[in-house]
Amino acid sequence: MTTKGFIRVAAASPITNVADIKFNLNNINNCIDNALDQGSKLIVFPELCITSYTCADLFAQQLLLNKAVEGVEDVCEYSKGKDILIAVGASLTYNNCLYNCAYIIFKGKVLGIVPKSYIPNYTEFYEKRWFTEGLGIINKKVDLFFQKEIPFGTNLIFTCGEFKFGFEVCEDLWVTIPPSSYLSLMGANIIGNLSASNEIVSKADYRKDLIKSQSARCISSYIYASSGVFESTTDLVFSGDLLIGENGNLLKHNDRFQRQNEVITSIVDVNKLNSERLRNVSFRDSVKLIPFEPLQINFEFESVDYKNFDRYIDKHPFVPSNKDQRNIRCKEIFNIQTSALAKRITHTGLKKTVVGISGGLDSTLALLVMIKTFRMLNIPSENIITVTMPGFGTTDRTYNNAVSLCKDLGTELREINIVPACLQHFKDINHDVEKHDVTYENVQARERTQILMDIANKEGGLLIGTGDLSELALGWCTYNGDHMSMYGVNCSIPKTLVRYLVKYVAETEVSKEVSDILIDILDTPVSPELLPKDKSGKIAQKTEDIVGPYELHDFFLYNFIRQGAEPDKILFLAKEAFKDDYDSVTIEKWFETFIKRFFTQQFKRSAIPDGPKVGTISLSPRGDFRMPSDASYNLWK
């Protein structure tokens, strides 16, 4: 099976008549066909949907209980030749007790039966009048009239390769330690919940929160299906709530209170979940708490083709697409950056900082962080020493923006032209000034860093680094040049997010004059300006022409580090996300660049200064990422 860990799952709420099993089965079968047509490999139905949930004292009628089991047989018959795992709800009589169960059916056979562990008997619920809790039932076998020796218990894991399914029933999700917590620790990465949850004001929001929270806690997918509006309304109303979650996110949900059969589907990413579990040491340690061994029930899909790939792939995973959420994220990041810098300043007892200002995005962001930090500490902005250091490639646009920004923000501005010093250095090392190679570029970067370091020493200040996460990932910095500082405030912020942080400040926190400068900086091409400008005086050296688009590299970085995804999967996701922006050849070209640079430039990341982690990815050798500087990238080609 080569689906890169993707599988389509479904949640269904069929039309039901209370105690009308034949009618209910017809609608259950229609939902199965609907899910199959969409390419689903799992369908989860509501609890007790074969009879309906609200039969009340009719559950004491032997006729209803017998017909319910016959209904399970009918679903088995209907499932023959159908390549889909079915979780359907019905009662089971076992050892003179009645259980509310999930029957797990595949191709004409009941693979296993999972009893509801917890039976609610409070407020509007009165289930213990009819049902017995299944808590503690493990490794049992039951016989039905059409099939013998069926596994019965709360420890069943239904396994097809990397796809491992576990099931719980309604109230089980609401308890202190849901059975799905144990099922996840036993390996289940897809959890189904067969439910009948009535509606009262705000309960739907709470259900969503529960499902998102449990899927995050279990690092799993969670498929929830609840009974619909055709249940009895003697005292309660049900809405047919359908939800599909994945590791804290809600992938799909329906519009409740529908009056027809309803099926929702979504593609879930099991590889991503498994990778996250491997990374999460606390999850692994929790495995020691499992009170019993799982019973693995193996089966095999004919294929796991999910048909149309309609899973949303965020092309900018570091940047929220919703503006309000993005502004909240930006505010939070600024609070982290400024708090980090404030701690370093108060710890050192220094009252001054130094930063090189180029008129580019990264140095602008660092300066904005410094301004906000100094205001927080009640230190005058004049104590921020900003240094602009024009060189061979500095353009009027970046120079003027740098000077204007520093003046408008009230910093102490110094200008030091590095051209004479660089020319002298070229002479000292016998380098031809007309040879515009890496030495030509790095001499300028190191000269600037030397100036900044020495000013910091002379003034008793802290040199603030400006490099961002994307540059670190690509090694797009000069070793012991812009690579070095005394504290780096941008070190875990990717380039795609830097842009929005600057934009956020321009829109919310500064004067019109400063905002206009920031907007122009945002419109300026990203460049180190280390090569001479063109004949018209404009930037000749554009970073993204050399190393590739930062939006692609940030996408590669997120999926490579955060998801641990293999190259073919990263390329698949990139081609899906950017299908309207880049062709396949372009994406493959820049991915090859990313992998090569990421591995060969690790030695720079092994020696970076301190700086705060602000998001889920950091490449600090002291924090999140430890990699040998001489690792081969051949496997990832």
Catalytic status, residue 170: yes
* 76 is an annotated ligand-binding site residue: no
* 357 is an annotated ligand-binding site residue: yes
**Of 31, 47, 49, 447, which one is the catalytic site residue?**
47
Catalytic status, residue 246: no
* 504 is an annotated ligand-binding site residue: no
* 430 is an annotated ligand-binding site residue: no
Catalytic status, residue 47: yes
* 359 is an annotated ligand-binding site residue: yes
Q: Rounded CA gap, 454 and 431, in Å?
A: 25
* 466 is an annotated ligand-binding site residue: yes
* 81 is an annotated ligand-binding site residue: no
* 442 is an annotated ligand-binding site residue: yes
Q: Contact 227/258 with Cβ under 8 angstroms?
A: no
* 493 is an annotated ligand-binding site residue: no
Give me the helix-helix angle, 584-600 and 550-557, nearest 10°. 60
Q: Rounded CA gap, 183 and 329, in Å?
A: 34
* 479 is an annotated ligand-binding site residue: yes
* 408 is an annotated ligand-binding site residue: no
- Cβ contacts of 197 within 8 Å, gap of 6 or more: 170, 203, 207, 226, 227, 238, 241
- Using DSSP's 3-state secondary structure scheme, residue 558 falls into helix
b vs e for 305-317, b when ≥16 Cβ sit within 10 Å of the residue's Cβ? ebeeeebebebbb
* 566 is an annotated ligand-binding site residue: no
Q: Contact 102/88 with Cβ under 8 angstroms?
A: yes
* 478 is an annotated ligand-binding site residue: yes
* 144 is an annotated ligand-binding site residue: no
Distance of CA 417 to the CA centre of its chain: 45
- Cβ contacts of 597 within 8 Å, gap of 6 or more: 473, 474, 475, 476, 547
Q: Rounded CA gap, 268 and 304, in Å?
A: 12
Phi-psi region of 179 (alpha: psi -120 to 50; beta: other; left: phi over 0): alpha
**Of 41, 116, 164, 503, which one is the catalytic site residue?**
116
Q: Rounded CA gap, 25 and 405, in Å?
A: 71
**Of 49, 55, 76, 170, which one is the catalytic site residue?**
170
* 356 is an annotated ligand-binding site residue: yes
Q: Rounded CA gap, 383 and 411, in Å?
A: 7
* 358 is an annotated ligand-binding site residue: yes
- Using DSSP's 3-state secondary structure scheme, residue 112 falls into strand
* 275 is an annotated ligand-binding site residue: no
* 362 is an annotated ligand-binding site residue: yes
Ranges of H-type helices in 6-51: 21-37
Residue ranges of the annotated binding site for deamido-NAD(+) are: 442, 471, 476-479, 604
Q: Catalytic amino acids?
A: 47, 116, 170
Residue ranges of the annotated binding site for ATP are: 356-363, 466
Residue ranges of the annotated binding site are: 122, 197, 203, 356-363, 442, 466, 471, 476-479, 604
